[in-house]
Amino acid sequence: MEMRASHILVKDRALAQQILQKIKGGANFAALAREFSTCPSKSSGGDLGWFGEGKMVPAFENACKRLGVGSVSDAVQTQFGYHIIKVTGKR
């Protein structure tokens, strides 16, 4: 199965929680990604495109598998920092 996701990557859990609260309050995910994310994908609103199994670090991939399309994760920690993930497609 392939998945498509966008994410916001930050170094600090507290900042991730603040961003998550804004998303839950209705803020635009892509706009927040452009403003806060430290990943180069920020220029495309956090969009990572389509990826298959084994292409992302395990914690990130597992979070994507658990989420339904359109769902947003809690803060997911990896060696890169804290991710807020929005799954945008599965096929």
Q: What is the CA radius of gyration of the chain?
A: 12
Predicted local confidence at residue 47, as pLDDT? 98
Contact 54/62 with Cβ under 8 angstroms? no
pLDDT of residue 80: 97
The domain spans of the chain are 3-90
User: Is the CATH number of domain 3-90 3.10.50.40?
Assistant: yes
The reported pLDDT for the residue numbered 15 is: 98
pLDDT at residue number 89 = 98
**pLDDT tens track for 4-60:** 999 999 999 999 999 999 999 999 999 999 999 999 999 999 999 999 999 999 999
